[in-house]
Amino acid sequence: MKKSTATATAAHPASVTIDGLHKSYGSLDVLKGISLDVQPGEVVCLIGPSGSGKSTLLRCVNLLETPQRGRIQIGDVEVTDPDVDIDAVRRRVGMVFQQFNLFPNMSVLKNLTVAQRKVLGRSESAARQTALHNLERVGLADKADSAPAQLSGGQQQRVAIARALSMDPELMLFDEPTSALDPETVGDVLSIMRDLAKEGMTMLVVTHEMAFARDVADRVVFMDGGVVVEEGLARDVIGAPQHQRTQTFLSRVLNPTQVHTPES
């Protein structure tokens, strides 16, 4: 998918390199040597069944989970270096979770300004200006003074995206951002993500939204059992998967009412 670099969201979109990543919880191996590259301005969607390691991989990228082995690099910084300034790394990476994680005791505007002031050191007026700009981008400029509890789930997720964007990230991570939303509100969130992709934001997205992955992603990575089973252009992986496991998964996702038997 061709993107305009002239209007890139991040001033310097970051590349991501994941090399031989292993993550386990006790005797359970969740990631088994994952290697993956994401180019600056590229959108890569991770798909696969629950428990395949997608979310764990995403959380390892900004060290919300610590891998046992392997290397992760964002731009020119090796995230897995024991001496890395992880706070500095996280300032470059925005993450949007399944749940919205907004501060319930703060207004929408305050949710967007508090980290700018404490982490980036912005003045109150500069943080407010950035926050209002990003609320307008997600179509919620009129909700600045509202409390999160006064918003729908879809609106709260859009606020969460605006909050992440207010930190001027070079990379955005999305962990199934629509999974907790009503069907009517899913489209609003996906539309914002489409706009970010067009603007040139580097994005690594865990999703079950196959239409979004097919239409927006530059590449799709199918994971199962902690390994990459198949990856390639979105139209190829989703439209004409080569691996039997990928074919089975997509058949079930795209035809949820079809009864699958071992023979089928």
Nearest Cα residue to 91 out of 10, 38, 169, 162: 169
pLDDT on residue 248? 95
Token pair for residue 49?
């069944």
Nearest Cα residue to 121 out of 64, 168, 171, 62: 168
Domain ranges of the chain: 16-99+171-253
pLDDT on residue 211? 92
pLDDT on residue 1? 44
pTM to 2 decimal places = 0.90
CB 181 within 8 A of CB 154: yes
Of 3.40.50.1820, 3.40.50.300, 3.50.50.60, 3.30.2350.10, the CATH number of 16-99+171-253 is: 3.40.50.300
Inter-helix orientation angle 153-165/108-115, to 10°: 30
Nearest Cα residue to 174 out of 61, 25, 30, 51: 61
When the pLDDT of each residue in the chain is averaged and rounded to a whole number, the result is: 91
What are the residue ranges in the chain where pLDDT is below 70? Answer: 1-12, 256-264
